[in-house]
Amino acid sequence: MMRDTLTVKEFLTIDDFDLDGKTVLMRVDLNSPMDPEGNILDDLRLKSHIPTITELSSSKLVIVAHQSRPGKDDFTTMKPHSLKLSDFLDRRVTYIDDIFGTYARTTISNMKKGDIVLLENVRFYSEETLERSASAHSKSHMVTKLAPLLDVYLNDAFAVSHRSHLSLMGFTEVLPSGAGRLMEKEILALDKGIKGSGHPNIFVLGGAKVDDSLKVAESVLKAGNVDRVLLTGIVGMVMLAADDVDIGKVNMEFIETQGYIDQIEKAKELLKNFNGQIAYPTDVALNDNEKRIEVDVDELKEQNLPIHDIGLETIVSFSREIEKANTVVLNGPAGVSEVEEFALGTQEIIKAATKAKYSIAGGGHIAAEVRNYGYQDLFSHLSTGGGACIDYLAGEKLPGIEAIKKSASSK
C-alpha cells in the first residue's frame, strides 16, 4: 500500500493498534441502491470494505452503517447487507436489529474473537444526523451506552465523512480512534492528487456541479501544486461564457435554469488570476435532434443548439496533455455520457488518463463511467466518495476525518 509518512502521522491506522481479541467499532458506508423488494442492486460499497473487515478477523468486530435516509423508499434495515457481507467474507455477519439497546449491548458483551456483528441502520436513531461537534455527539445515548463495551473506534466510511454525524465523530472523543484501510487509502491517494508527485499535475473537471468544480479549481491552483485545470461539461460551458464567448441562448438559459448564472463571474475571476493554467473547449458537440454536430465555439451563437459534449479537437488536445501527466485527477464527465452519441469525450479522457503515471477518478459519475468502460484496473485510484471527494479536493476539512486526526493528536 502507498505510504506518505507526513500524512499518516496526522491520523492513526490499523497498524497503530493491537487489535487481537479487542472489541472494535467500525463505521462503514454500506448505503446501496435497492429495489422495492429490498434486494441490493449494486454491491460496490460493500465490497470496498472487505479488505478492512478481513484484516480485523482476529478482533470482535462491531459494524455500524446506514441505508438511505428517512422518507426514502429504500430507508430500511441492514439485514440484506449482513447477508451480502457474509457471502463475500465466507463468514457469518450477524445482523442485530438494535443500535445501543439491551439486545445490542448484550450481544457485544458476549462476542468471541472473530465474531462480526452489524448493528441496525444507524439513521433509525434520530440523533445520528444532527450536525453537531464531536464533543456534543460524545454525550449522546449511543456513545455513552456503547463506548464502555468497546476498545477502539475505526472510521472506514470516507464517502460520508463530510457529514458531522454522530457515528462519525462521537466515539473519537472517548475511544482510541483511527482510520480503516479504505479511509487510509482515500486520504493518501487524494493527497497525492492534490500535492502531485511530479509535474505535470493536471485536474480535469466536468459534470454538472459548476460551483463545486470552480471551488476545486481555485483551491488546487492557489495551492500551487497543480499545473493545469482542464474544464469540460457544464463548467466548461460556464467558462466559455466567462471568456465572452456567445454560447447561444439555449445554453445560457440552461445555465440559468441550473442556478449557475452567478458562477460566470466566479469563472471570470479564475481566468484573471490563473491565466494560462485553465483550459476549456475550443470546439463542442451539439445535440441536433439526437444527432451529434461538431462546431467550433465561435459558431455557437448561430447554431443555438444544446452543448452535450466536447468536440474532437478538444478531445485530442486534452488527451495529449493528460497522457503526458505525472498525476491526473478526473472529476465529472465531459458531456452527457449516458447517451452513446455524446459519450465520446468522457470515454477518450478516461482512456487518456490510464496512460498517465498516476491516475485518480473522483467518486460518483466519473468513477461509474470508468467501471462502465472497463478501465478500473488501469486507474491508480477510484474514489468511493462523491460529495466527500469534491470537498476534500477543494481543500475543505471533512468532519469525520478531522475527528480521527484530533484523536491522534491528543494521544
- Do 31 and 166 lie in a common domain? yes
The answer to whether residue 381 is domain-embedded is no
- Here the cell at position 330 is 478526473
Q: Which residues are annotated as a binding site for substrate?
A: 29-31, 45, 66-69, 123, 163
Question: Tens place of pLDDT for every residue, the chain, 411 residues?
Answer: 444 433 446 999 999 999 999 999 999 999 999 999 999 999 999 999 999 999 999 999 999 999 999 999 999 999 999 999 999 999 999 999 999 999 999 999 999 999 999 999 999 999 999 999 999 999 999 999 999 999 999 999 999 999 999 999 999 999 999 999 999 999 999 999 998 777 899 999 999 999 999 999 999 999 999 999 999 999 999 999 999 999 999 999 999 999 999 999 999 999 999 989 999 999 999 999 999 999 999 999 888 899 999 999 999 999 999 999 999 999 999 999 999 999 999 999 999 999 999 999 998 899 999 999 999 999 999 999 999 999 999 999 999 999 999 999 886
40 and 67 belong to one structural domain? yes
Nearest 5°: CA angle at 278, between 388 and 205? Answer: 30
Residue 377 in any domain: the answer is no
Q: Which residues are annotated as a binding site for ATP?
A: 338, 363-366
∠ Cα 239 262 161 (to 5°):
85
Say yes or no: 120 and 267 in one domain: no
Annotated binding site: which residue ranges? Answer: 29-31, 45, 66-69, 123, 163, 338, 363-366
Find out whether 19 and 60 touch, Cβ atoms under 8 Å: no
Are residues 205 and 172 both part of a single domain? no
Range of the domain at 326: 198-356
Are 166 and 44 members of one domain? yes
Residues 401 and 349 both lie in one domain: no
Distance CA 143, CA 153 (A): 11
Pairing of strands 307-310, 283-288: antiparallel
* Residue 182, C-alpha cell as written in the block: 479504505
User: Are both 166 and 224 inside the same structural domain?
Assistant: no
What is the distance between the alpha carbons of residues 334 and 219, in angstroms, rounded to a whole number? 21
Q: Do 125 and 59 sit in the same domain of this protein?
A: yes
Known binding-site positions for (2R)-3-phosphoglycerate = 45, 123, 163
Note whether residue 266 is domain-resident: yes
- The answer to the question of residue 101 being in a domain is yes
What is the CATH classification number for the domain harbouring 341? 3.40.50.1260
Predicted TM-score of the model (pTM): 0.93
Give just the sign of the alpha carbon dihedral 28, 32, 34, 39. Answer: negative
Same domain, 208 and 317: yes
Kindly tell me the sign of the dihedral angle through the C-alpha atoms of 214, 162, 41, 375. Answer: positive
Pseudo-torsion of CA 241, 244, 246, 251, nearest 10°? 10
Q: How far apart are CA 48 and CA 45, in angstroms?
A: 5
Q: Residue 90: CA atoms inside 13 Å, Cβ hemisphere, count?
A: 0
Question: 310 with 271, same domain?
Answer: yes
* Dist. CA 54–CA 180, nearest whole Å: 11
And the C-alpha cell for 167? 457515528
